[in-house]
Amino acid sequence: MMKEDDPSPARENAEVLAAVQETLNGDTSAFRIVVDRYTPLLFSLSLRMLGGREDAEEAVQEIFLKVFASLRSFKLEKRFLPWIYTIALNHLRTSFKKRSRRRRVETVLPHEDLAARPGDGDRVGPEHRLFLAQAEAAAGRALLRIRHEYRAVFILRALEGLSVSEIATIMGIPEGTVKTFFRRARQNLAELIFRETRETPDGIGSI
């Protein structure tokens, strides 16, 4: 039996599934639980996949509309997180293509306040904070330039902390392919970041 304050994924999934069931039974206000639970996660994912805060906010709203419209296709005996991730990634693939055609990609990072982490002020000087911010900006720009599948695997594995098996389920690919995509993503990112730091006189390579 789960305790009331149990923070485990099992309890979280049970609460979400209960909200989904209530929504399917006609109480659409219960869907607010799903929205509140997954908005931070989907915003972080969208920001990393698209690179712009405004686009990420718009994408999250659109993803939830698709999730709501697709609820009846969800099997209640399954975990909700992989299912919502799958919908999100499919939507973000299309959104990124449209956005790239529409205008130049703006790079806004999910950890843009990296230099202002609590407690860092006593240990890190302004030059090092600037270096961290510039390094993160370079990584963010590189992330937006690699293949969609590589970017998705890298974000889910390295930044969101999902397991290889979870990513394989979400993306509908074998676990071996997840590992290959992750390795190639790291290689591509390293090459792009190295190239940028060499080509930018005032960039992070000059600090």
Shared domain for 106 and 130, answered yes or no, is no
Is 118 among the domain residues? no
Shared domain for 11 and 107, answered yes or no, is yes
Is 1 among the domain residues? no
Q: Which residues contact 167 (CB under 8 A, 6 or more apart)?
A: 153, 156, 157, 178
For residue range 69-107, list pLDDT tens digits in order.
999 999 988 889 999 999 999 999 998 888 765 555 454
For residue range 103-162, list pLDDT tens digits in order.
554 544 444 433 344 444 455 567 766 666 777 778 888 999 999 999 999 999 999 999
Asked if residues 144 and 137 have their Cβ atoms less than 8 Å apart, the reply is no
pTM of the model: 0.76
Domain of 88, in residue numbers: 7-111
Shared domain for 27 and 104, answered yes or no, is yes
Q: Answer with the one of 56, 85, 111 that is the final residue of a domain.
A: 111
Alpha carbon distances (Å) from 42 to 76, 92, 124, 180: 21, 10, 31, 25
* 38 vs 48: CA distance, rounded Å: 15
Residue 130, pLDDT score? 67
Residue 182, pLDDT score? 97
Count up the domains in the chain and report the number: 2
Shared domain for 15 and 106, answered yes or no, is yes
Q: Answer with the one of 111, 132, 163 that is the final residue of a domain.
A: 111
First to last CA, the chain: 55
Shared domain for 97 and 189, answered yes or no, is no
Shared domain for 68 and 157, answered yes or no, is no
Q: Answer with the one of 111, 146, 174 that is the final residue of a domain.
A: 111
For residues 69 and 51, the model is more confident at 69
Give the CATH number, domain containing residue 41: 1.10.1740.10
Is 18 among the domain residues? yes
